[in-house]
Amino acid sequence: MKTKSGVKRICPVIIAAVIFFSLITGTSYACTTLIAGKNTTVDGSILFAKTEDDGADYADYLWFVPRKEHNEDAMIKLSGGKMIPQVKETYAYHWDQVPGSEYSSAVINEWGLAIGSDACPSREDSIEEVERRGDLLNGGIGWRLRFILAERCKTARAAVELAAKLLDRYGYRGSGRTLDIVGPKDAWILQMVRGKQYAARRVKDDEVVPIANTYTIRKVDTDDKDNFVCSDNLIKYARKRGWYNPKRDGEFDFAKAYANQESYADIRNTRRCWIMAKMVDKNFPLSWKEADQGKMPESIKPDRKLSLKDLMNIMRTHYEGTVLDDSDGYTKSPHKNQSRPVCTHITRRTTVVQQREWLPVEIGTIVWRALYEPCSSGFVPWYLCARDIPRAFRNAPENYYDTKKGFYEYHFNMPEEIGRVDMNSASYVFGLMAGLVDSDYKNVIDYVQNKWATFENYQFRMQNHIEETALKLYESDKEAAREYLADYTRARALKSLKIAKSIINTLEYRLWNAEQGSRLKLNK
């Protein structure tokens, strides 16, 4: 069939097949994180970059959840099925939702507190065994933890301290996980083990921390209360389980003691950390073979001041320029690299949170957000005042604002139609675009990246002008400043959707006319 413009359109079934076969190989549910301290960046901001990798059958929606007043007897349902008390008032937050996924939600509250996570399997026993020992109360806390922190805390430090209290009481339900907790003033990583063992470490201002699905905290200084928050018997428990022996192991190493040993040295994890380190410091001394042996340090000192663009490029890498790139010049999709790249075919969302404490939070905190594989997508600056999310970016079979389901039931019981063809949903549109790009990556990626580079470079050029205007407005009329930034965010989000649809039209036309395999010109 043809569109009004005369361009032939391919049947959605054919398109769905293209996406399916481009995504089906080598699925591994895992995420990648990089946090840069304020002294490592060009403008003194804290930068928090993260991919959300989930698989072909997941969607991604962005919601704004307003402040709420709760009754004195209000309760929170945990993923283990039990209930714990709610507080009287909860803060507002943006919720990047992956329906049905227990740990993929990202949240950032009205104070700029951003929270994401990385699966980091531990060597602890099963839920049943840990619960039998009494280290999981009410089934333990898991999925709901990040929301509780966003609802109740203004700073990263406060969130870590509250998390420690909750873990001490209820225990952690999952095998193991890192919570990335980043605010305008400081950043922390909280690494939890099933039960009641955990270690939290502040990201120092002069370091960059990469995380790729295994624990990264090594030395733990329990006397340094400014930089560490740990469970009381962290080392004692590891010795009791035989995971740490001072005579055999020397100084206590949290990651080595508590990590699942296969995950600790899994090349899908170690090599992602290695390539991030290499892109942060070109003189990084370890080889990828040494990284494979579990020798990665917990942080890196960069060889230059890092920019937003640097972190975006790191999130877009597939080992280009190294011997680990096995795509043969993109002859095959680089997302299916055997070493598991940072940017992969199961990436559903990538964010780079820019935190600048010297500015009002409505201006100083930005979530640069790209849907699906970031190498073929564009980053949109979402300011915190953008509370009226454009419909396409929150379009779901069941609307969060109208649902009669409770918070827990809504997330874990979305309608089956969630996977339907829906060109009114940004999640579907960007997923379709990513699948079409991946089906002929070598010949179309330069064209696609050129489109997004033009889009992003405009935003980089405009950022200072936009924020100077917002600051002037803020001095006399805060609400006008917020609406100004919200309008800018909405305009850029809708512009990104328009570009994605134009790329789809171009790539569909190539499929229809059997032009795959020939290079797509940049000015097409």
Please spell the DSSP secondary structure of 276-297, one letter per residue. Answer: HHHHH-TT----HHHHHTT---
Three-state DSSP class for residue 112: coil
Portion of the chain with pLDDT greater than 90, in percent:
79
Distance separating alpha carbons of residues 47 and 426, to the nearest angstrom: 25
In the block, tokens 């370890």 appear at 286
7 in a structural domain: no
Give φ, ψ of 368 to 5 degrees. Answer: -85, 115
Residue type, 13: V
In the block, tokens 């990202």 appear at 106
Distance separating alpha carbons of residues 235 and 224, to the nearest angstrom: 15
What pLDDT, in 10s, does the model give residues 255-281? Answer: 999 999 999 999 999 999 999 999 999
Interval 127-134 mean pLDDT: 95
Interval 388-411 mean pLDDT: 90
pLDDT on residue 48:
98
Cβ-Cβ contacts under 8 Å for 350 (sequence gap 6 or more): 49, 50, 51, 52, 315, 343, 369, 370, 374, 377, 379
Interval 451-469 mean pLDDT: 98
521 in a structural domain: no
Structural domain for 41, as ranges: 12-512
Interval 295-306 mean pLDDT: 96
Distance separating alpha carbons of residues 181 and 79, to the nearest angstrom: 21
Domain tally for the chain? 1
Is residue 28's pLDDT more than 80?
Answer: no
Distance separating alpha carbons of residues 340 and 210, to the nearest angstrom: 15
Is residue 8's pLDDT more than 60?
Answer: no
Distance separating alpha carbons of residues 256 and 124, to the nearest angstrom: 13
23 in a structural domain: yes
The model's confidence at residue 57, banded by pLDDT at 50, 70 and 90, is low
Domain harbouring 432, CATH code: 3.60.60.10
The mean predicted confidence, pLDDT, of the chain is 91
**Comparing 115-129, 212-226, 235-249, 387-401, which segment has the lowest mean pLDDT?**
387-401
517 in a structural domain: no
What does pTM read for this prediction?
0.94
What pLDDT, in 10s, does the model give residues 360-371? Answer: 999 999 999 999
| Residue 426: both structure tokens together | 């940004």
Cβ-Cβ contacts under 8 Å for 238 (sequence gap 6 or more): 197, 244, 252, 257, 258
Interval 431-454 mean pLDDT: 96
Interval 203-228 mean pLDDT: 96
5 in a structural domain: no
The model's confidence at residue 56, banded by pLDDT at 50, 70 and 90, is low
